[in-house]
């Protein structure tokens, strides 16, 4: 039995070296990358046993993804498919003013056809926490239904449900996201959402503290975490809002920072920490992730403990 079970797509990320342009790239660095598996790995690094559920093509690329995730120490429980392809994305990295750019190539993937009846819902119901994100239902109409059914199965088993809103404008419009994701809200216990998404997608107004309180009150969540970038995060729980500043860090790669934060928060709550302490560890984990290339938080609990012990008030981007 795992402490946390996550469900979603993990892609292969292809990145040209340095700040090279995609159109001139002669070689690519390849890494497995996906929000739900990133969360599982971060939680596992902080002491929670974790399993990633998905539907994966039975191809060399699909096996590459599963093998790499297993190397990171998490369990995988996948449906092997002879139809559909392995999703990928291309990352072109650069500083200002060009910035970094992501190009998705995830049409007709194996996971887009995944149904709850194919997946190991017993594993979900035996877990302490089930996690998925707003990226998953954005991938297909089938996954919109599957995500709802997986949350329902978790609730029926008494499993706490955690959800990262994770809006991606390259996958769907704000109106589509709002209509779909708010329908899932009654099945969610713990919501993680960026302040910008609460404003631009859900249409809420106010500062992060007000956003957290409004979301918690309106949708009857147990816990709401509103992330606020360089200013850290706030957490609403039992009608009380707790603030957590970001820790100072030098950024090597910002991708996966939010996943590291969420995985650490869940792990520390499972460990028995209260919300303020879990937020502290989540912020420290996010700061450490920004120093690590790739999407995955390859860190140790001792490193996170050291950051928390040393303290910090700001984050340097």
Nearest-10 crossing angle of helices 60-71, 35-45: 20
Who contacts 234 (Cβ-Cβ below 8 Å, separation ≥6)? 208, 209, 212, 225, 226, 228, 241, 242, 243, 244
259: annotated active-site residue: yes
Catalytic residue among 164, 189, 197, 259: 259
How many angstroms separate the CA atoms of 128 and 245, rounded?
A: 28
Pairing of strands 129-133, 101-105: unpaired
Count of other CB atoms within 10 angstroms of residue 214:
18
Who contacts 289 (Cβ-Cβ below 8 Å, separation ≥6)? 42, 253, 256, 257, 260, 261, 297, 299
Tell me which DSSP letter residue 46 carries.
T
- The alpha carbon of 170 is separated from its chain's Cα centroid by a whole number of angstroms, namely 17
- Residue 294 sits at φ, ψ, to 5 deg, of 85, -175
Residues with catalytic annotation? 259
């Amino acid at each position: 039995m795992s402490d946390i079970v996550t469900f979603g797509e993990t892609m292969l990320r292809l990145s040209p070296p340095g700040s090279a342009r995609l159109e001139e790239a002669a070689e690519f660095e390849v890494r497995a990358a996906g929000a739900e598996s990133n969360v599982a790995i971060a939680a596992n690094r902080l002491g929670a046993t974790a399993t990633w559920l998905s539907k994966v093509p039975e191809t060399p690329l699909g096996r590459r993804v599963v093998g790499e995730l297993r190397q990171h120490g998490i369990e995988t429980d996948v449906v092997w498919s002879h139809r559909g392809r392995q999703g990928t994305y291309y990352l072109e990295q650069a500083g200002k003013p060009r910035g970094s750019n992501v190009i998705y190539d995830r049409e007709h993937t194996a996971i887009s056809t995944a149904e709850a009846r194919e997946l190991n819902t017993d594993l979900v119901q035996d877990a302490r926490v089930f996690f998925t994100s707003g990226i998953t239902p954005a991938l297909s109409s089938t996954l919109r239904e599957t995500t709802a059914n997986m949350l329902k199965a978790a609730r029926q088993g008494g499993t706490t449900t955690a959800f990262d809103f994770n809006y991606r404008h390259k996958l769907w419009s704000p109106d589509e996201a709002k209509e779909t994701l708010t329908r899932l809200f009654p099945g969610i216990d713990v919501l993680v959402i960026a302040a910008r998404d609460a404003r631009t997608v859900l249409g809420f107004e106010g500062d992060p503290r007000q956003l957290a309180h409004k979301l918690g009150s309106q949708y009857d969540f147990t816990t709401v975490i509103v992330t606020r970038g360089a200013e850290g995060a706030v957490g609403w729980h039992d009608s009380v809002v707790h603030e957590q500043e970001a820790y100072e860090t030098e950024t090597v790669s910002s991708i996966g920072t939010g996943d590291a934060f969420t995985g650490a928060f869940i792990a520390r709550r499972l460990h028995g920490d209260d919300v303020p302490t879990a937020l502290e560890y989540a912020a420290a984990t996010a700061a450490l992730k920004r120093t690590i290339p790739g999407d995955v938080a390859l860190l140790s609990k001792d490193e996170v403990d050291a950051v928390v012990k040393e303290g910090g008030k700001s984050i340097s981007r």
